[in-house]
A and B are shown apart, each in its own frame.
Chain A
Amino acid sequence: DAKTTQPNSMESNEEEPVHLPCNHSTISGTDYIHWYRQLPSQGPEYVIHGLTSNVNNRMASLAIAEDRKSSTLILHRATLRDAAVYYCILRDAEGTYKYIFGTGTRLKVLA
């Protein structure tokens, strides 16, 4: 399974954009890049996913490097409710459809 590397923690001011990086240098051509977040005392929730092109949804944007060895989750305007642990994970579309989580990035949003 491909591995991901994320910073342990990051801080952001409220109402400012946040860029959460993820390195996945061993990614294969069939791996989708997924982002989940976990709010305190809750189960993870889906944020966004992509394969090659940048993706946008109501929650965030996902920017994928051209060589696909890294990606960045972008929260356009951080709010206090965005304080969570953000996980970047890879899912193999041709494999067994299992998710392997890393340790994630703990995002702290300052008021």
Chain B
Amino acid sequence: NAGVTQTPKFQVLKTGQSMTLQCAQDMNHNSMYWYRQDPGMGLRLIYYSASEGTTDKGEVPNGYNVSRLNKREFSLRLESAAPSQTSVYFCASSVRDILNTEAFFGQGTRLTVV
């Protein structure tokens, strides 16, 4: 079982470049999330999608855009990368049903902006 798959695993960008982080889940989950984790810190929510066709801002959305392409895929785009966006990015998914509330995380994308 693949679970939550993130690509790429590592990326180095120059300031001002753009890129899209890809996330796909094969568990038929309705909800998907993007988090960032800075060194020594907890995870902070960037954006989330409660269901296909909807997206909402989390704690730290500035500088990012998202697309819920279909039920399986949720991408995160950096339009003009900045050094402050150097971080590890995690995608997660969960079933919306309140009786089944476990979230599954990908292995992360380590992004460095120079």
- Whether chains A and B associate is yes
What chain A residues lie within 8 Å of B104 (beta carbons)?
A: 46
Let me know if B74 is at the binding interface, CB within 8 A: no
The count of residues in chain B whose C-beta lies closer than 8 Å to any C-beta of chain A is 27
* Main SS class of interface, B: strand
Q: How many A-B contacts at CB < 8 Å in the complex?
A: 59
Question: Of A34, A43, A103, A104, which contacts B108 at CB under 8 A?
Answer: A43
Q: Say whether A96 contacts B43, CB under 8 Å.
A: no
Distance (whole angstroms) from the CB of B100 to the closest CB of chain A: 10
* Main SS class of interface, A: loop
Contact surface of A with B, Cβ cutoff 8 Å: 32, 34, 36, 42-46, 49, 85, 87, 91, 93, 96-104
Listed A/B pairs (5) with beta-carbon separation below 8 Å? A32-B98, A34-B101, A44-B103, A99-B45, A101-B45
